[in-house]
Amino acid sequence: MAQSILFIDGENFMHKVKEVLKKEGRDKHKRDLSLIDFDTLIRDPLKNFTFSRKIFYASRLHFHPETKKKSTELIKMQRKLRNNLVSQGYEFIIAGNVRAQKIGDKIIFREKGVDVKLAVDMVSFACDKKIETAILCSSDSDLQPAIAELKARGVEVIYLGFEAQPNKGLTYTTDRTILFRNNEIMEVVPLK
């Protein structure tokens, strides 16, 4: 059986789930994103794969004094998400940081570093011949050079995206595309 590794860009994934909730007219505040049933979500679309590893990449969250309540909520949510993923057999890797930027009178939070760690891991596994198939759940076009390197090393790369706005560049760059349907996402995000 081929060695398959699932790579999930956590920040990107959660953003896409929120987009699906919005498109479907569901209030994301009434859903518990930290308790997504990932194994049920991937069961049908990825039924032909046996994973040697399932890796979820997330950014380190920091407490920001100017947004105490929101910082505390996000940190608690990430801990709950981590526990949920670990209980489902996923590795939870902290890579990069979420940084606050003051723009005018607003504070904007931006994630940096997850895509770099994910790309380095994919290429490293390919160089060490520890992977035959990489399933990439990210819609970040910055990963295209890493995908090209994996393919050059004989690794099959599958883009696992969302039917709501799939990334065309990743569709063309990878060997195959599998898309989550909106109803599949809705079924695995429980109410609070």
Helix axes 144-152, 114-127, angle to 10 degrees: 0
If we measure between CA atoms, which residue out of 57, 76, 51 comes closest to residue 140? 57
pTM given for the model: 0.91
What pLDDT does 112 receive? 73
* 92-109 residue pLDDT tens: 999 987 776 677 877 766
- The domain locations on the chain are 4-188
pLDDT tens per residue, range 42-72: 999 999 999 999 999 999 877 666 677 777 8
Q: CA–CA separation, 176 vs 185, rounded Å?
A: 20
Does the pLDDT of residue 113 top 90, yes or no? no
N- to C-terminal Cα separation, the chain? 39
Tokens of 69: 């309540």
Give domain 4-188's CATH number out of 3.90.650.10, 3.40.640.10, 3.40.50.1010, 3.90.1150.10: 3.40.50.1010
